[in-house]
Structures are given as structure tokens and as C-alpha cells.
Structure 1
Amino acid sequence: MAKAELMQLPASQMVIGLTVKLPLGWTQHPFFINRIKLTSQAQIELIRGLELTFVYVLSGHELLPEVIEEVEDKQADPMQVKAKPKKVLDSKAAVIKAMRVGQQRFLSNINESRSVFAQFAIEPDKAYREAATMVEGFVDHLQETDTPYLALVGSGEMDVSVTQHGISVAVLSLMIGHALELPKSDLRDLALGSLFHDFGKLKIPDNIRRKRSELTEPEQNYLKMHPNLGFDLLNACNLYPKSVLNIVLHHHEYIDGSGYPDHLTEKDIPLLTQIVSLANDYEGLLEQFTFSPQLALGTLFKSHAKKHAQNLIAALVKVLGIYPPGTLVSLSDGSIGKVMMTTREVKQPHVWSCNLGGGEANLRFLLEEDVTVSSVLRLEELTEGALKTLQADSPISFYFSALPDN
């Protein structure tokens, strides 16, 4: 018996409640399977970001209006759906400079953050002033362009320090805050709270904090004390705003009450704290799913969606794009690469590319080529040469790209 033909729905007309099937292979989208029950606007925005002409409707037809506009090019092979070509505005020179400046700023901020933390025990007032200066720099870097992009950066070290993690969380939090159009005062508090959110971990013994093997239950409980330890240190100074102290104390709280230390729910968690909690949770998934930013994003959707407000997850998706920086990808011309920076076209990020063996290394600007990302790769799929060329096993951190407006 022949299967009934599935209804094709324009991607622009998706609504919550539908169950849809994506006309893509599993490596071409961030979900675990291509059959998706639409339960949030964040899911819809993520699917629209894939630039599909249509999706298949599996159930929920009664939620749709009686008249559906005709899908363009119905006869096109759904596996070959392409975005409409747009005029390329990015300058290669500007992009290269933006990435270089972003990396320099990231390294500079790591050193400044270490200085602030070291100064805290000696002159807490001076540490606060230096941290406030850092925060102004963050906000200036964010706002030097109307459309900031996210770039891949790194410290050159295999272990991500508390300071490096704090800067990356600050960048993600500020990008979310920018997407939500928060006022500058809130952006400052987001940045300062992010910088200090794990400050209490410096009071945890190294043999616990840096332990490679699984922590024992007493060790886990000790590590979970770091929000309280950080809060107590900052609160004693009588310098830090209440919103910053709340971020430090409650950055592991989730809106479903599953977090710690106080098991708060949404109504008791301020917006700024929720933003840092989301950014920190994503960074934690990055550590869990090493070298796979897209898998971390998919896991956030699949397993952590109830922990965070849907509008915040949607904002994070907008910030990260479909292929977040650090994602290993196969390109439509047969080469492979690592995403270095997001762009206005989600399927055409800037990538560090090479051939399958690791040769012909080159920084590629897919916006200026008829090339797109065709699938996501796992670390184990790379040859030894490609692994080395792409530095695919390097830790992933983020910073603003500093790309000027065109």
C-alpha cells in the first residue's frame, strides 16, 4: 500500500502544537531526530534559521488555517534546498582584522581578570574599580557595531581557567542581553556578574576543582558550595550591586526548581540571573560534549529546555547560529572546516578549512563562495592531519568579533 503524501507547509507558517518532519538529514540540523513536536517559539525560530522552504506536517493539521499559501518550487529536491543568493557585503580584510582583534581582546581580558582576582584579597576596592573598567570595555566592544557577531577564541591552554570561562560566559550573556535590547545598566551588571560568577571556585581545593575522574558525592557537595563562597566574599565588600550578588549566588538555579543552592523557581530568579544561568549551562554542556558546540546546543533543546525561559533560549540560538563557532563541518565542495565566526547567513559562516587529509589549509569566507555547510562532523571522523590542521581538540571560548557595520 502506498504511503499517503505528506503535507508541505511553508516554514514561515509553522505554529506551536504541530509535529513536523524536516526535509534534511540528521547531520544537517541541531535536533536529535528530524521529527519534531513544536512546543516553543524557540524551536520554530531555530528551524526557520535553517532556511528551509518548507517542512512536512505529521500531525496538528487542525491548527492550520484552511488556506495555505503555495510552497515555492515544490518539485525541488528537499535535500538540495538552498538559500536565495544575497549580495555579499563582508570584506575579507575587515573579517580577518575583526577576528584578530577579538582574539587579542580575549587574551587581554584573561590577564586583566587574573589581576582583578589576585588584587581582591589585597585591595578589594581596587579590584572592584579594575573589574568595573573591564566591564566598560566589554560593553564598548559589544556596542561598537549594531550587529555583533560571535567569534571563536582561545587561550592556547588545554584547561579552561575560571577567568577564561567567566569571560566567555560574559560574552554570551551580553550577546543575549543585546538581543533582548536590555539597557546599558543591565548589560554592565550582566558582565560583572558573569566575570565573578565562579569566583567561589577559587576557594575549592585544586584536587577537587581540577579532578579528571568522577567526583565522589562529598566532593560534589563541596564543589556545589562555590556560589555561596563567592557570594560571601563579594557581599563582605559592600561594593557590588545586588543584581551582581544574585548572579553569583544563583547562577546554577533553573526556572523548574532543579538548580542549587536554593532550588528557586522562575518567579524568584531575576532576569539577569536567568541569562547568566543559561549561558553558564551552555558552556557546561560544551565541556560535557567536548569539541561539539552544535551537539551541546541540541542537548540544551532536548534535555534542558524546561530549565530556562523559552525566549532566552531563542535569543541564545540567535546569538550562536545553527553552527556555533568551534563546530566541525563538512562543506558542500567536499572540504572540511571549523567554524570561526558567525555571519548573517547561518549556513555560510567563516571557517578555517582544509582537505580531508589536512592539507590546503585556508580561511574561507563562504559568503563570497557558492559553498555552504552540508553536515556536522564529530572529532573521531577527522584524519590525524585534519585534526592537527583545524586544532579541532582545542577548548572553545567566545568573544565579540569586532566586525564593523557595512
Structure 2
Amino acid sequence: MAKSDPVQLPLSKVRVGHTVKLPLAWKDHPFWINRIKIEEPAQIEMIRGLGVEFVYLLAGELPPDIMDEEPEVDEVVTEVAQPASIDQQLETRKAIRLSQQRFLNSVNGSRTVFGKLLSDPEGSLELATGLVEELAGHLDEGIKPYLALVSSGESVVGVTQHSISVMVLAMMIGREMGLDHEQMCHIGLGALFHDIGKLKVPESIRNNPGELTTPERNFLKAHPNFGHEMLSRSGLFPEPVLHIVRHHHEYFDGSGYPDALAGKDIPLLTQIVSLVNDFDHLLVREDVRSPQVALGFIFKKRAGKHDMELIKLLVRVLGIYPPGTLVQLSDGSVGKVMLTSDKVKQPQVWSCTVEGEEPCLRFLRQEKVQVLDVVAADELAPQAAKVLQAYANISFYFISPVTA
């Protein structure tokens, strides 16, 4: 059964071995996230105590009698292409604004977490865990999670903005892999703190867009050790989190640092953060910038440095045209992808004419317009580049359910 086509399963039909999703907000149940793999009868009893009449079946054998049931009339979806209504545009704009606000709140929250680390490590860890739980709740709001384009609005991508974006993508991959409660917590904390050691590196070095001297480069490459030392001295952080912080620049082929770990010597959670960190750093390189180009670079040039199955998961999470990708459309206009979508060549875009006129949010699927190609920012007319904010920094956050 496809993940994108869940079935409403009555509680009486839930069995051990099913993977289900609760039709509840994350704060309204005792589980880590809404997605639950049923491994023991006690979990079924807990779900029955929540007062829900059904769950969504995501994986597992479908009971035969369910297959015979007629679908409810309001569940039948037609594929008639229609222009996006005013309500749809407003709801999508609202969802994008909400994602942007949540991203900024998370960035501000991470600054508070980092500021307390040395003076109050226990308080810092408590706040950080709360931040991870909040992101997990946002991730699990819809049956299928999507990503929206967001930005801090700052000219330079700082440690906190980068960390939240890495955290979002790492947790998306973790959800795709079905990681358990503890693993999701560890990957969230590890991603959040992975670059904390950079705060001991002078800004003149870590924000230098040009070539670094050898001593400067060595100083910057010491940040995993700095971060590991900052967290480990409290004795509070779990070992998987410490491992991510120290080894998020290790590569599968042993060419990374600081310890040149290779293959299965790099735990899965560290591998995930290493991959996402690599991808996110490509977004600020002048010769890359585009998330679609960065994804292609990872797929073609980094296959030996990261596990190929994890790279495929990253592609699945981001889509062929990730949010932030500048595109040429089949009607001659240009646009920027705003959301991930099931329809690969028909995402939702912020669009304008090639001259930069008639800016609007568009639902390509409903217009029968397709993405023809990816374009670089410097290929756009100046006004079009301005309208599409072609040179703005790119980050990602979960988006509440909208028409995708």
C-alpha cells in the first residue's frame, strides 16, 4: 500500500505489525509522533484509550473486509484541472507564512539553547529537547509531510539557521526510515548542536567567503572537536548526540575528519546528519546555490562519500525540484518552487514573466503548466531576479497540510 494513500482503519481491525497514524495533534497523545509501528498489544490498548474511532493504516496487511467496503462519497477525489481558487491561494500563503514563523521561532529558540549551554547545561538540554519535540509535532501534522521554502532574511547563513535547516531535513529522513522515539530525539539534538563548536571560531574565519589560509582552515576544521568538548563536559548528553557533533564531517569512504572513520564505523544517525550537512553547505556555494543543482551534485559526485540509500532518501524528501529551485515553465514564464509536491513537474511556484511582471502564486497542476528546466539566478532578467528573490538564502521547514 502506498504511503500517499492511507486507509482509515477501525480500531477493531488494528493488529500487531501494522504501522498506523493517529488522527490527533501531537500534544493530544502519549506517543513520540503520530506515526506508530504496532509491536505489542499494549500499544493498541493505549490507542483505544484516546477516544478515536479509527487510525490511518500506513503499512501492514490490509484486512480483507476493509477492501470490500465502499468509499465515502466525500473521500472520492477527482482529477479535474481547475484554476486555483482565491481560498486555495490564501490557505497556501497562510501555510507558508506559518512555516516561516515557525522557522524563525526555532532559530531564536536555538540561540537561547546555545546561550545557556555553558552556564546552565541542564537547562540548555531541557530547552533543546523541547525544541526537538516541537519540530516533531510540526513534522507529524499531516498524513504526508511536505517542505516549504523559508529564510531568516539575513545576508549570511549563521550557525543557528543552518542547524535548524539540517535538523528539519535529518528528521524528515528519520521519519522516512521509521526511526523510533529515542532515535528521533537523538538525531534532532545532534543536528541542532552539530555546529555548536563553530561559535569558538572567529566570525572572520567561519563567514569568510574567500579562500582561507592553511592555519585558518585547520582552525575551522577543529570545530567538531570544540563542539564535542563543550557538550561532553556536562556529562548530560547521550553518546549518539556526542558522536554526531564530533563526526558530522566524516565520510563513508574514510576521507572525512576528524578521525577518518569509514563505512559502518559511522553510526546511521551520524551518517544522516553528515549527508544533510553536506547538502545544506552546498546551498551557499557561489558555484551551486540552487537546491536542485546541489541535490544533483550530491547524487553524482558524493555517492562514494555517503551511503547511496541515504542519498536516495534525501532525493525522496526534497523532490526532484526542491523548494528554492528557479525554474522555466512551459508557458514561457519563470518561477521559484515554494513547496515540495507529489507532482514532480507541477509544483506550486511563485512566478512572473521573464521581464519580472505579473508576480503571483501558481498551482501548476491545476493550470496544466509544467516545469521545463532549471535556471540559474544570473540567467534571469534583473527585475525577475528581484521579484523571485533569486539570491536569497535557502532553508527548509515543515509545512502544514495544503493542496500539493
CA–CA separation in structure 2 for the residues paired with 1:163 and 1:120: 14
Alpha-carbon offset, residue 121 of structure 1? 2.4
Distance (whole Å) between structure 2 residues aligned to residue 383 and residue 405 of structure 1: 30
Question: What do residues 46-66 of structure 1 show as CA deviations (whole Å, max 9, x unaligned)?
Answer: xxxxxxxxxxxxxxxxxxxxx
> 1:361-395 CA deviation, whole Å, 9 max, x = no partner?
00111122111101110111101100110010001
Gaps of 5+ in 1: 1-84
Residue of structure 1 equivalent to 2:199: 202
| 1:306-356 Cα deviation digits (max 9, x unpaired) | 111111011000011111111100111111001111111111111110001
In 2: Cα distance, 1:88 partner to 1:248 partner: 48
Partner residue, 2:176: 179
Distance (Å, rounded) in 2 between the aligned partners of 1:403 and 1:396: 21
Q: Per the alignment, in what secondary structure is the counterpart of residue 128 of structure 1? A: helix
Q: Which residue of 1 aligns with 2:300?
A: 302
Structure 2: how far apart are the matches of 1:187 and 1:327? Answer: 28
Equivalent residue, structure 2, for 1:72: none
Q: Deviations over 1:85-128 (max 9, x none)?
A: 94679944443222111101000111111111112222121111
Given the alignment of the two structures, is residue 327 of structure 1 paired with residue 325 of structure 2, yes or no?
Answer: yes
Which one-letter code corresponds to 2:202 in the other structure?
P
Question: Could you tell me which of 390, 399, 402 is aligned with 1:401?
Answer: 399
Does the 8 A contact of 2:118 with 2:230 survive in 1?
no
Partner amino acid, structure 2, of 1:297: L
Displacement of 1:292 after TM fit? 1.1
Are 2:341 and 1:343 aligned? yes
Q: Distance in 2 between matches of 1:124 and 1:260?
A: 26
Output the CA distance in 2 between the equivalents of 1:94 and 1:257: 47
Correspondence for 1:265 among 254, 262, 265: 262
Residue 391 of structure 2: SS of its match in structure 1?
Answer: coil
Question: Hey, what's the Cα distance between the residues in 2 that align with 1:95 and 1:189?
Answer: 32
Q: Which amino acid aligns with 2:233?
A: A
Asked if structure 1 preserves the Cα contact closer than 8 Å seen for 2:89 and 2:361, the reply is no
Structure-2 separation of matches of 1:404 and 1:293: 22
Q: Distance in 2 between matches of 1:239 and 1:405?
A: 43
* 1:188–1:94 CA distance, 2 compared to 1 (3 A): farther
Equivalence map 1:95-114=2 (5 Å): 95-114=92-111
Classify the secondary structure of the residue corresponding to 1:334: coil
CA distance in 2, matches of 1:235, 1:194: 16
Partner residue, 2:246: 249
Match for 1:385 among 377, 383, 386?
383
Could you state the TM-score of these two structures normalised by the residue count of structure 2? 0.77
**Is this contact kept in 2: 1:291–1:326, CA < 8 A?**
no
- Tell whether the 8 Å contact from 2:92 to 2:403 is kept in structure 1 after alignment: no
Q: Which has the higher contact order (CA 8 A, sep 6+)?
A: 1
Give the match for residue 130 of structure 2.
133
Distance 1:405 1:268, change over 3 A: farther
Contact (CA 8 Å) 2:81, 2:367: kept in 1 or not?
Answer: no
> What do residues 209-230 of structure 1 show as CA deviations (whole Å, max 9, x unaligned)?
1222200111111111000100
Unaligned runs of 5+ in 2: 1-77
Aligned partners of 1:145 and 1:181: how far apart in 2?
A: 16
Aligned position for 1:61: none
Aligned 8 A contact 1:146 1:405 in 2: no
Identity, % of aligned pairs? 53
2:176 is matched by which residue type in structure 1?
A: A
Report the AA paired with residue 114 of structure 1: R
C-alpha RMSD of matched pairs (Å): 1.7
1:291–1:392: 8 Å Cα contact kept in structure 2?
no
Letter in 1 for 2:340: T
Shift of the 404–332 alpha-carbon distance from structure 1 to 2, 3 Å rule, reads: closer
Distance 1:405 1:368 in 2: 11
1-structure distance, mates of 2:319, 2:360 = 22
Shift of 1:267: 1.5
Assess if the C-alpha contact under 8 Å between 1:204 and 1:226 holds in 2. Answer: yes
What is the rounded CA distance, in whole Å, between the counterparts of 2:154 and 2:144 in structure 1?
30
Q: Letter of the 1:342 partner, please give it.
A: T
CA contact (8 A) 2:323 2:338 kept: yes
Structure 2 matches for 1:3-402, cutoff 5 A?
Answer: 86=79, 91-288=88-285, 289-402=287-400
Q: Secondary structure at the match of 1:341?
A: coil
Task: Report the CA distance shift for 1:196/1:87 in structure 2 as closer, same or farther (over 3 A).
Answer: farther
Query: What is the identity, as a one-letter code, of the residue corresponding to 1:180?
Result: M
Residue identity matched to 2:351: S
